[in-house]
Amino acid sequence: MPEATHEPALHGDAATVVLLRDAPRGLEVLLLERPSHRGSFAGAWVFPGGHVDPEDRDEVPRDCPDPPAGAARCAGVRETREETGMVIAQEDLAALSIWTPPPSVPKRLLTWFFLAAVDTEATGPLRLSPEEHVDHAWLTPAEALERHAGGSMELVPPTWMTLNWLSGHRSAAAAVAAARASEPADFKSVGARNDEGHPIVAWAGDEAYDLDGHPGPPGARNRITLDVRPWFHEQSAGQR
């Protein structure tokens, strides 16, 4: 059954930046390991990012057509610099998706995911924030997904879904161009259980999705089963 039939209030906004580079073996993405003993997503491998702070909102131009998105861009640039030492510009960011956590999550942040292609030879060595992350890796999306499937790397659904999408692109430029060519995908997550009792996370169109009172038709799928690896995005035809 669906986790909830209404959406609780959000507690703020956040930004995530998916840093991409081209390597001899193909497109690579930067993943950072969270400490296993503290904070959000403890022990998981994530992309750089964090809360939208008041100063990020103050930097948004008054004529910005979408102030929340503008503040998220400011936060993405700032968080990337703080967590990796890499300096990127707002115009480097291509909006890919917008994520809303399940209703049961205590602190619910609407999170913008942006792509940004970087030249690591020009940006210099990575400088991690030791309070935020304990390790890093540049991996192809397929490598990261394989590590998760094998249990050596923990990923959360938004990270996994982003890597799954990136696995269909051969270069950083191609991925960024694809993101710029369409509106950001909107993922409002709902937790539920499938007919076998396994926990799932579902999105709009799935038969278990009832966040807006309009679940998908019987048998419709837009979900991941969380306790069965490798994860697989079950998706009915016509859904993004």
Task: State the residue range of the domain holding 222.
Answer: 190-240
**Does the structure show a pLDDT above 90 at 162?**
yes
pLDDT at site 1: 43
Say if residue 197 is in the same domain as residue 140: no
Are residues 101 and 30 both part of a single domain? yes
Residues 38 and 109 in one domain: yes
Domain end residue (candidates: 155, 173, 188): 188
Note whether 182 and 197 are same-domain residues: no
Residue 4 — very low, low, confident or very high, per pLDDT cuts 50/70/90? very low
214 falls in which pLDDT band (50, 70, 90)? confident
Classify the phi-psi angles of 219: left when phi > 0, otherwise alpha if psi is within -120 to 50, otherwise beta: left
- pLDDT beyond 60 at 61: yes
In this structure, are 83 and 126 located in the same domain?
Answer: yes
Q: What is the pLDDT of residues 163-200, one digit of tens each?
A: 999 999 999 999 999 999 999 999 999 999 999 999 99
Q: Which long-range contacts (CB under 8 A, 24 or more apart) does 60-68 make?
A: 68/13, 68/110
**What is the sign, positive or negative, of the torsion defined by CA atoms of 189, 191, 192, 193?**
positive
| Residues 211-216: contacts with CB under 8 Å, at least 24 apart | 211/2, 211/4, 211/5, 211/6, 211/7, 211/103, 212/7, 213/5, 215/2
| Domain-terminating residue out of 188, 211, 228 | 188
Q: Can you list the positions of beta strands (E) in 101-142? A: 109-117, 135-139
Give the Cα separation of 90 and 231 in Å (integer): 33
* Residue 149: count of CB within 10 angstroms of its CB: 15
pTM value? 0.93
Prior bond to 102 cis, omega within 30?
A: no
Same domain flag for 155 and 104: yes
The predicted structure's pLDDT at residue 2: 44
Q: How confident is the model at residue 3 (pLDDT cuts 50, 70, 90)?
A: very low
The answer to whether residue 224 scores a pLDDT higher than 50 is yes
Whether residue 4 is contained in a domain is answered as no
